[in-house]
Structure 1
Amino acid sequence: MPKNALVTLRYGPYRSCGIAEHRTFRLQGLQAVLKADGHEVILEEIPDWNDVQLIVNGEMVFQCNINDLDFGGDGKLDPLCSEASIAVLNAY
């Protein structure tokens, strides 16, 4: 996939401090890594609990549990962010 791809980052609600709602704190590193690669990221809320999906050209290329992502940060040390970046670059 060339740079400047349009990546839809779909995320579901998760429980934190006893409150369940859609939050983007755990997505900051993933967004930073994708934007550093030159991709445009669109956030989209979904009803699936704890789920993160990356959609490129209408195809889901990566999926993980939102709780497995590092909280905040730039995503450079998070292995899931690296895996997601590679999945987007290998998308057709």
Structure 2
Amino acid sequence: MPKNAVVTLRYGPYSAVGLSVEHRTFRLEGLQAVLADDGHEVILEKIEDWNVVELKVNGEVVFYCNIKDLEFGGDGKLDPLCQQARVAVLNAY
């Protein structure tokens, strides 16, 4: 995938520390940083599926995971899921 691709980051609501179920982006910060460092444009899109994160490139889902498995905050460089997502985007057609 060439640099400067448009990546749609779709995310669903989740419950954090017993709080109400809402769309939160705190766990997406590292993923966004890793993709931005590669020069991709990241578009956030809320979905209604609970605990879901999907990355879409050219209309195709290239990566998905549970949002609770992503590290909270940070730059994503040490999060193995962020690195898997990065590779999936780089290998997308």
Q: Fold conserved (TM > 0.5)?
A: yes
Code of the residue aligned with 2:87 in structure 1: it is I
The one-letter code of the counterpart of 2:17 is: C
4+ residue segments displaced more than 6 Å: none
Q: What residue in structure 1 maps to residue 37 of structure 2? A: 36
Amino acid at match of 1:11: Y
Give the percent of matched residue pairs that are identical in Structure 1 and Structure 2: 76
Instruction: Tell me how far 1:52 sits from its aligned partner.
Output: 0.1
Give the alignment's TM-score, normalised by structure 1. 0.99
1:7 matches 2:4: no
TM-score by length of 2: 0.98
Alignment of 1:16 with 2:38, yes or no, is no
> Any gaps of 5 or more consecutive residues in structure 2?
none
Tell me the matched-pair count. Answer: 92
Gap runs ≥5 in structure 1 = none
Q: Which amino acid aligns with 1:28?
A: E
- Residues 53-72 of structure 1: pairs in structure 2 closer than 5 A: 53-72=54-73
Superposition RMSD in Å? 0.4
Deviation at 1:79, TM superposition (A): 0.2
